[in-house]
Chain A
Amino acid sequence: MIEIENVHKSFGALEVLKGINLTVDKGEVVSVIGGSGSGKSTLLTCINGLEPIDSGRILVDGTEVHAKTTDLNLLRRKIGIVFQQFNAFPHLTVLENVTLAPRKVKGMSRRDAEEIAVQQLSHVGLADKLKVYPNRLSGGQQQRMAIARALAMSPDYMLFDEVTSALDPQLVGEVLDTLKMLADDGMTMICVTHEMSFARDVSNRVAFFHKGVMAEIGPPEQIFGDAQHEETRNFLSSVR
């Protein structure tokens, strides 16, 4: 379970998170939507401790992420994150990209790591690209590799930060299909996204962020059909 309690976060004078409260249960898929600069992406990088927070707290399975005593490297093994820029490691093949962390962080043998990697890469449809370097992959393939890379650590949670925003329109579908598959497998996911149809069809709940505040959260039918807040309606009418 991820519990976010009254989290505040500023970059200099700019407060990007103004007291966020959100609880995500095991197996739940929460989509976070909202305009740019609304604090959505920052929230994700706070959850896995890449960004410090100013006040409040975030608990992952009861462990406080920003506590001084927390071993972040250990905690991050169970929180996978995929970014908008694919961040493929260009000097490693697809297979090596995926086996790197299981081997060097978890200490797995090469054989075990490769077994898992091949399984994850087949899962995302890249079984035929194992020996290829990332610069030979399309954006969509690189992003699917990044997803497999995160999954190879067998995380309990997956965070997706606008994973389709840097893709050509015709490649968006293949990545969203991967996310849908994961959701069907019961993965706990928080997806920051601009894909409204994905948010509507796949999520259990949709959260709307506006200027650092979570203005509204609810099941997709409510957000897309009967939004309570004017900002939500304005936002949705502007993206449709």
Chain B
Amino acid sequence: MFDYTFQWRQAFRALPQMLDGALVTMQIAVLSMVIGITIAVLLAVARNSGSKWLQWPAMAWVEVARNTPALFQIYMAHFGLGSFGIYLSPFVALLAGITFNNAGYLCETFRGALRAIPGTQVRAGRSLGMGQAKAFRLIVMPQMFRIAFLPTTNQMVWAILMTSLGVTVGMSTDLTGVTQDLNARTFRTFELFALAAVLYYCIAKAVMFAARLVAWRLFRY
């Protein structure tokens, strides 16, 4: 019943290639977080703006991003847009899909954080002569990021793991893509994917560690 012979050496020989893939994975995850956070802040502000013209599109974004499978979102970016003659490379489609998803989730995280900041903070800023935008940037935003920090790191890990879906739109340079490719050539499925899993784990840990460092530097209070 159990006559599989492990051949780890073959998997380890592929390690340099997989590390290259891991780098691409990290690249996509970090980019999708940076862009996702930026869009999410705008969406959260739009949802809190009180203007219907801003609220509705933001709400629609959040609704679709949160209530449809991430896989479909990536599919849509690649094959869906492809039907209209808009061709996004697997890398861009994957990035777009994950960013779309990230922004939707993070918007809600930030909106919750905004609610936790007393309105009197803005009032204090305004009474010192700051305009609305300046008060938001200097007083509200730093506090918002602090409150939203832990849920945001959750999303970051999720973004890293989501990149593995890229393989479904032909992504071949990221960690999953590379592993898949090696698997097709060697059939060392268990070894290769086990190794890839360890690498994913390490990337997630590394990113969390980096996030901790940033938090330690930024949130001194």
Q: By the criterion CB–CB under 8 Å, are A91 and B146 in contact? A: yes
B126 near A87 with CB under 8 A, answer no
How many chain-A residues does the 8 Å CB contact rule pick out?
Answer: 27
A83 engages B221 (CB within 8 Å): no
Q: Is B168 interfacial (CB-CB < 8 Å)?
A: no
Assembly CA distance A76 to B124 (angstroms):
11
Chain A's closest residue to B121 (CB) is: A87
Contact A50:B143 (CB < 8 A) given known A73-B130, A74-B129, A105-B128: no
Q: Select one of B123, B124, B130, B221 contacting A105, CB under 8 A.
A: B130
In the bound complex, what is the Cα–Cα distance between A105 and B221 (angstroms)? 24
Q: Which residues of A contact B127 (CB under 8 A)?
A: 48, 50, 76, 79-81, 150
| CB pair B129 A135 closer than 8 Å | no
Complex formed: what's the CA distance from A146 to B139 in Å? 15
Q: Is the CB of B121 within 8 A of A73?
A: no
| B131 at interface by CB-CB < 8 Å | yes
Main secondary structure of the interface of B (DSSP, over half): helix
The answer to whether the Cβ of B5 comes within 8 Å of any Cβ in the partner chain is no
Q: Is A149 an interface residue (CB 8 A)?
A: yes
Q: Which residues of B contact A (CB under 8 A)?
A: 118, 120-121, 123-131, 134, 138-139, 142-143, 146, 219-221
> Which residues on A are within 8 Å of B, measured CB to CB?
48, 50, 73-74, 76-77, 79-81, 83, 85, 87, 89-91, 100-101, 104-106, 133-135, 146, 149-150, 153
- Show 6 residue pairs from A and B whose CB-CB distance is below 8 angstroms, ordered by the A residue: A73-B130, A76-B126, A83-B123, A90-B221, A104-B138, A133-B220
Other A-B contacts than A81-B127, A100-B138, A149-B128, 15 sampled, CB-CB below 8 A, are A50-B126, A73-B130, A73-B131, A76-B127, A76-B129, A79-B127, A87-B118, A87-B121, A87-B123, A87-B124, A91-B143, A104-B134, A105-B134, A150-B127, A150-B128
